[in-house]
């Protein structure tokens, strides 16, 4: 096994080296350019409008995965009810900007409030669990995700129960009066976001802002504190990191990003119902982070796009029935998680730190190699480890 | 609130609690040994229920059969409901957990959640997405009357069978060689290995035993409720884990106690009105206050007195001891009066918050005395219990029984 992978490595080494020489910024710029050009393909008639929808959803999932990555990748905690925070954002938006209560708050206020409410939810969840061992957070968020969905279904008067809230107004980036005063200026219609392409660019801008924010955060004091906590909590605490506070920050921040994404999702999809916030959705986001690479921002973006777009392609190609397809899709997602975690825990595009630590040498394995090295009578002559 | 209503509800709570206990034991044993949450355990339970129901369906069990044949069929179903989950539990451990041992904490958790998803989808693929239903048997709905109160035979069967299994498990863990190995492995895996214990085998055995218990739980559930859905394991697993935390994770009697408390809370919660339930909360509050204000300070003082056994000191302590409730009140008000009674300020605040929470909820429940909680909210009860226990007493009712090496 190791011999084979070693051989493959030696063959691919020059290619890797060539890629490694390209500065990182180039990849980001290429990716951004591709994302910006993608909807134009639709304008030029190369792809159907359905693909634009896939694009928007992929971007939303990119944002979700980036948010979950803070908790999972950077801090090393597991949040299994992440979609609940997404639901908080989506429902806040739906209630404040729909015919349900005859409200139409301005876009920025709604988004800000959605984010804040999701953060408060994160705080409430984190409060009892973060002082304890890390895995309690996993089970509490797991339960929380389910409880939020049940509550949404049960609070009929407030959320319309299983029917969901319909007719969410499209976001207006400026006040109504301001838009009217601009008259027929060509760009004025862009201030009311109601076409798929406009949504696409709105979400793209938000995702880019979040990604830049997070990559800066990753290299900051806070980010290093998170990584230290992930590696060794005791050591981190003894260097003066307040564990509970740093963890709380990561949980709350990631909840806020989910709330933000939820607000955008509610605006985009126009209709939201509890169906969109199943436990499976949380697992999908977890799977995206694991596939792409925990702790690696480019990796997570890649994971989200691959796992959101690929199933769509396969579905188009196979034309399978929806429910049938769903079963296989989830099966594959589960298998991806297990296989990745066992064979390549650092993900497809690993973060440097994760790569070095996730292949840490098992003491027993080390003992074996040592024996094969020193036990000349039994061991073969190869010293290649 | 009539007596027979209370008896019925209590029996219902015991039944549900026993089933939670059977599943919770698997969680708590695995947690004790490996220190991680086996998310796939709920699915193991579902597999037990499904195999049992399908065995009974395949055997064509019906009421026309003679009792002996039927008993044989049920035994066969039991066997199936033990063997299938055991195999699955063993395989999961072998394939998905063992290669990850010693990796950083989040990795095995992720693997567990992946396995859980895979198994759920496999259940749908193999058995279909519709819930499996038991053949309608007279045994399923049979009941007897006890002083005018009707009790289902199956409820009694569940309680008795679970109790027997738990006694068996206690014997296994306390008094057999393999049980000793399990305890040793859970205390310190490396040291256990040095003592010649095959920890791999012991861990596999732990998984097998836990899975078998969950499988029997599945059989009992499917017989009691008549049907089982493919995702039932999710909620049952969640509640069972809550029970394990409630009783103190890693603690085998704790899991049973926690499960019974949770089962009772759930059943009482949705079947009695709030005004009645408020008395329970009040009783809890009084008990808590007694422990915090009299028992704990008293015991602490006793320890100190035993430490420095001079007559004068004992006498002075005796005086303090009389004042213990007073000091405790001061401690509860977060005024640390005396090093003798010092609880950390944070702890005192937490205790105080717990008491305030209980008092406030009791008051609120008295105010809304005639309201009843809708059954739809039942899962929320378990969640609230979990949050409250983690908030105020994370080590559970009977205390944790896990040792963590730093």
pLDDT at A382: 47
Binary contact (A146, B386; C-beta < 8 A)? no
Phi-psi map region of A167: left, alpha, beta (phi>0 left; psi -120 to 50 alpha): left
Tokens of B221: 């559930």
Residue-averaged pLDDT of chain A: 84
Residues B141, B262: one domain?
Answer: yes
> Quick one: average pLDDT of A116-132?
91
In a domain, A227, yes or no: yes
> Quick one: average pLDDT of A197-213?
93
Question: B272, B291, B311 — which closes off a domain?
Answer: B272
In a domain, A124, yes or no: yes
> Quick one: average pLDDT of A177-201?
76
On chain A, the residues whose CB falls within 8 A of the CB of B114 are 287, 334-338, 341
> What domain range is A222 assigned to?
25-279
- Distance CA(A310)–CA(B64), nearest Å, equals 54
Residues B367, B236: one domain?
Answer: no
A50-99 pLDDT, tens per residue? 888 889 999 999 999 999 999 998 998 999 999 999 999 999 999 999 88
- Distance CA(A64)–CA(A153), nearest Å, equals 23
In a domain, B241, yes or no: yes
Run means of pLDDT, 10 residues per run, chain B, 406 residues: 81 94 94 88 94 90 83 92 95 92 84 93 90 81 80 90 94 93 90 92 95 95 90 91 90 91 90 82 84 68 65 61 60 47 60 82 85 81 85 78 61
In a domain, A220, yes or no: yes
Which residue reads 């717990």 in tokens? Answer: B354
Residues B256, B280: one domain?
Answer: no
In a domain, B376, yes or no: no
Lowest mean pLDDT of A6-10, A164-168, B311-315, name the range: B311-315
In a domain, A365, yes or no: no
pLDDT at A103: 85
Residues B262, B280: one domain?
Answer: no
DSSP per-residue string spanning A62-82:
HHHHHHHHIIIIIS----S-H
Residues B68, B112: one domain?
Answer: yes
Higher confidence at residue A186 or residue B59? B59
In a domain, A16, yes or no: no
On chain A, the residues whose CB falls within 8 A of the CB of B116 are 334
Residue-wise over A111-135: b if at least 16 C-beta within 10 A, else e? bebbbbbbbebbeebbebbbbebbb
pLDDT at A356: 62
- Residue from B258, B387, B394 to probe the interface with A (highest A Cβ count within 10 Å): B387
Residues B236, B348: one domain?
Answer: no
Binary contact (B129, A327; C-beta < 8 A)? yes
Kindly state the helix (H) or strand (E) to which residue B150 belongs, with its residue range.
strand B149-152
The alpha-carbon radius of gyration of chain B (Å, integer) is 24
On chain A, the residues whose CB falls within 8 A of the CB of B347 are none
Q: Are A83 and A145 in contact (CB under 8 A)?
A: yes
Residues B62, B127: one domain?
Answer: yes
Q: Are B228 and B46 in contact (CB under 8 A)?
A: yes
On chain A, the residues whose CB falls within 8 A of the CB of B118 are 331, 334-335, 338
> Quick one: average pLDDT of A196-218?
92
- Distance CA(B244)–CA(B251), nearest Å, equals 8
Number of domains composing chain B: 2
**Per-residue pLDDT band at A383 (split at 50, 70, 90):** very low
Residues B315, B189: one domain?
Answer: no
pLDDT above 70 covers a percentage of chain A that reads 85
Among candidates B37, B117, B377 on the partner chain, residue whose Cβ is nearest the Cβ of A330: B117
Q: Is the pLDDT of residue A384 over 50?
A: no
- Distance CA(B218)–CA(B187), nearest Å, equals 30
Q: Is the pLDDT of residue A318 over 50?
A: yes
Shortest Cα distance, chain A CAs vs residue B141, angstroms: 30
Tally C-beta pairs within 8 A across A and B: 130
pLDDT at B272: 78
In a domain, B394, yes or no: no
In a domain, A328, yes or no: no
Residues B16, B154: one domain?
Answer: yes
In 3D space, the residue among B202, B212, B147, B213 whose CA is nearest the CA of residue B179 turns out to be B202
In a domain, B378, yes or no: no
- Measured in Å, how far apart are chain B's first and last C-alpha atoms? 53
Return the SS3 of B90: helix
| Beta-sheet strands, E only, within B214-351 | 227-228
- Residue from B42, B114, B405 to probe the interface with A (highest A Cβ count within 10 Å): B114
Residues B244, B292: one domain?
Answer: no
CB contact A80 to B (< 8 Å): yes
Higher confidence at residue A245 or residue A5? A245
Binary contact (B117, A323; C-beta < 8 A)? no
pLDDT at A14: 75
On chain B, the residues whose CB falls within 8 A of the CB of A141 are none
pLDDT at B140: 74
pLDDT at B339: 39
Angle between helices A135-154 and B232-247 (to 10 degrees): 130
Residues B58, B134: one domain?
Answer: yes
Other CB atoms within 10 Å distance of the CB of residue A269: 19
> What domain range is B12 assigned to?
3-272
Q: Are B150 and B144 in contact (CB under 8 A)?
A: yes
Most confident of A31-45, A162-176, B159-173: B159-173
Q: What angle do CA B236, B240, B242 make, to 5 degrees?
A: 120
Higher confidence at residue A318 or residue B160? B160
pLDDT above 90 covers a percentage of chain A that reads 38
Question: B251, B272, B293 — which closes off a domain?
Answer: B272
Residues 245-304 of A with CB under 8 A from B: 279-280, 283, 286-287, 290, 294
Q: What is the CATH number of the domain that holds B66?
A: 1.10.3470
**Per-residue pLDDT band at A363 (split at 50, 70, 90):** low
Task: Let me know if A34 is exposed, middle or buried by CB neighbors in 10 A (0-12, 13-18, 19+).
Answer: exposed
Among candidates B106, B383, B386 on the partner chain, residue whose Cβ is nearest the Cβ of A72: B106
Residues B200, B229: one domain?
Answer: yes
Which residue reads 């950390």 in tokens? Answer: B344
On chain A, the residues whose CB falls within 8 A of the CB of B374 are 154
In a domain, B184, yes or no: yes
Binary contact (B234, A146; C-beta < 8 A)? yes
The alpha-carbon radius of gyration of chain A (Å, integer) is 23
Question: B272, B294, B316 — which closes off a domain?
Answer: B272
Return the SS3 of A192: strand
Most confident of A38-42, A240-244, A261-265: A261-265
On chain A, the residues whose CB falls within 8 A of the CB of B117 are 280, 283, 330-331, 333-334, 337
- Identify the closest residue of chain B to A73 by CA–CA distance: B106
Shortest Cα distance, chain B CAs vs residue A294, angstroms: 11
Binary contact (B103, A358; C-beta < 8 A)? yes
In a domain, B387, yes or no: no
Q: Are B111 and B100 in contact (CB under 8 A)?
A: yes
Lowest mean pLDDT of A125-134, A314-323, A339-348, name the range: A314-323
- Distance CA(B123)–CA(B54), nearest Å, equals 12
Helices (H), chain A: 2-21, 24-43, 49-69, 82-96, 107-129, 135-154, 156-159, 176-182, 196-218, 221-231, 233-238, 243-269, 279-292, 297-318, 322-343, 352-358, 363-374
Number of domains composing chain A: 1
Tokens of B55: 């065995």
On chain A, the residues whose CB falls within 8 A of the CB of B107 are 341, 345, 358
Shortest Cα distance, chain A CAs vs residue B84, angstroms: 20
In a domain, B383, yes or no: no
In a domain, B45, yes or no: yes
Binary contact (A146, B379; C-beta < 8 A)? yes
- Measured in Å, how far apart are chain A's first and last C-alpha atoms? 12
- Distance CA(A70)–CA(A222), nearest Å, equals 11
């Amino acid at each position: 096994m190791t011999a084979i992978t070693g051989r493959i490595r030696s063959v691919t080494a020059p290619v890797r080296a060539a890629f490694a020489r390209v500065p990182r910024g180039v990849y980001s710029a290429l990716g951004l350019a591709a994302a910006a050009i993608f909807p134009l393909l639709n304008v030029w008639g190369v792809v159907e409008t359905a693909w634009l929808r896939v694009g928007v959803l992929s971007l939303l999932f990119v944002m979700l995965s980036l948010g979950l990555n803070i908790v999972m990748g950077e801090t090393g905690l597991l949040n299994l009810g992440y979609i609940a925070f997404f639901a908080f954002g989506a429902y806040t938006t739906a209630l404040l900007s729909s015919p349900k209560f005859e409200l139409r708050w301005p876009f920025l206020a709604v988004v800000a409030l959605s984010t804040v409410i999701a953060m408060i939810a994160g705080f409430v969840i984190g409060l009892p669990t973060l002082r304890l061992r890390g895995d309690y957070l996993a089970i509490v968020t797991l339960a929380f995700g389910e409880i939020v969905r049940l509550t949404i279904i049960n609070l009929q008067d407030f959320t319309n129960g299983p029917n969901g809230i319909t007719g969410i107004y499209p976001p207006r980036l400026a006040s109504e009066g301001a838009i009217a005063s601009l008259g027929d200026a060509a760009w004025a219609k862009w201030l009311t976001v109601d076409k798929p392409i406009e949504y696409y660019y709105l979400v793209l801008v938000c995702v880019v802002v979040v990604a830049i924010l997070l990559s800066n955060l990753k290299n900051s004091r806070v980010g290093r504190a998170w990584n230290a906590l992930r590696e060794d909590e005791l050591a981190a605490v003894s260097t003066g990191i307040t564990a509970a506070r740093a963890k709380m920050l990561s949980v709350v921040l990631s909840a806020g990003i989910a709330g933000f994404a939820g607000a955008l999702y509610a605006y985009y999809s126009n209709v939201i119902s509890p169906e969109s916030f199943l436990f499976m959705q949380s697992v999908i986001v977890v799977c995206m982070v694991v596939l792409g690479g925990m702790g690696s921002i480019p990796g997570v973006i890649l994971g989200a796009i691959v796992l959101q777009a690929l199933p769509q392609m396969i579905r188009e190609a196979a034309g399978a029935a929806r429910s049938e397809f769903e079963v296989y899709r989830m099966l594959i997602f589960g298998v991806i998680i297990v296989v990745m975690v066992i064979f390549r825990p650092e993900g497809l595009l690993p973060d440097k730190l994760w790569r070095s630590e996730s292949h840490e040498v098992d003491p027993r394995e080390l003992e074996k190699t040592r024996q094969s090295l020193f036990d000349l009578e039994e061991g073969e002559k190869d010293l290649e480890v | 609130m009539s007596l027979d209503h209370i008896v019925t509800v209590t029996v219902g709570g015991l039944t549900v609690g026993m089933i939670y206990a059977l599943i919770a034991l698997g969680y708590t044993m695995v947690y004790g040994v490996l220190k991680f949450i086996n998310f796939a355990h709920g699915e193991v339970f579902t597999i037990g229920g499904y195999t049992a129901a399908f065995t009974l369906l395949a055997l064509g069990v019906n009421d026309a059969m003679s009792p002996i044949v039927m008993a044989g069929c049920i035994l066969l179903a039991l066997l199936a409901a033990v063997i299938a989950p055991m195999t699955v539990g063993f395989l999961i451990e072998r394939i998905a957990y063992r290669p990850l041992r010693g990796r950083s904490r989040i990795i095995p958790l992720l693997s567990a959640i992946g396995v859980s998803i895979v198994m759920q989808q496999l259940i749908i693929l193999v058995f279909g997405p519709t819930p499996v239903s038991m053949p309608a048997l007279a045994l399923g709905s049979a009941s007897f009357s006890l002083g005018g109160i009707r009790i289902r035979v199956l409820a009694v069967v569940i309680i008795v069978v679970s109790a027997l299994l738990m006694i068996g498990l206690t014997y296994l863990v306390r008094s057999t060689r393999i049980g000793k190995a399990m305890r040793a492995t859970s205390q310190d895996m490396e040291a256990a290995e040095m003592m010649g214990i095959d920890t791999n085998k012991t861990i596999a055995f732990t998984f097998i035993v836990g899975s078998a218990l969950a499988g029997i739980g599945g059989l009992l559930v499917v017989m009691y409720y008549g049907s089982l859905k493919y995702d039932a394991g999710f909620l049952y697993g969640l509640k069972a884990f809550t029970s394990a935390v409630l009783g103190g994770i890693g603690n085998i009697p704790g899991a049973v106690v926690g499960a019974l408390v949770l089962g009772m809370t759930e059943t009482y919660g949705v079947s009695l009105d709030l005004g009645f339930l408020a008395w329970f909360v009040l009783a809890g509050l009084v008990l808590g206050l007694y422990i915090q204000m009299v028992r704990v300070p008293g015991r602490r003082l006793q320890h100190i007195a035993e430490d420095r056994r001079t007559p004068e000191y004992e006498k002075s302590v005796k005086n303090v001891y009389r004042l213990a409730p007073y000091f405790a009140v001061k401690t509860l008000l977060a005024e640390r009066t005396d090093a003798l009674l010092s609880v950390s300020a944070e702890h005192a605040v937490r205790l105080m918050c717990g008491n305030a929470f209980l008092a406030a909820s009791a008051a609120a429940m008295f105010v809304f005395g005639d309201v009843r909680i809708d059954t739809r909210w039942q899962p929320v009860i378990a969640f609230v219990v979990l949050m409250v226990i983690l908030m105020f007493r994370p080590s559970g009712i009977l205390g944790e029984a896990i040792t963590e090496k730093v």
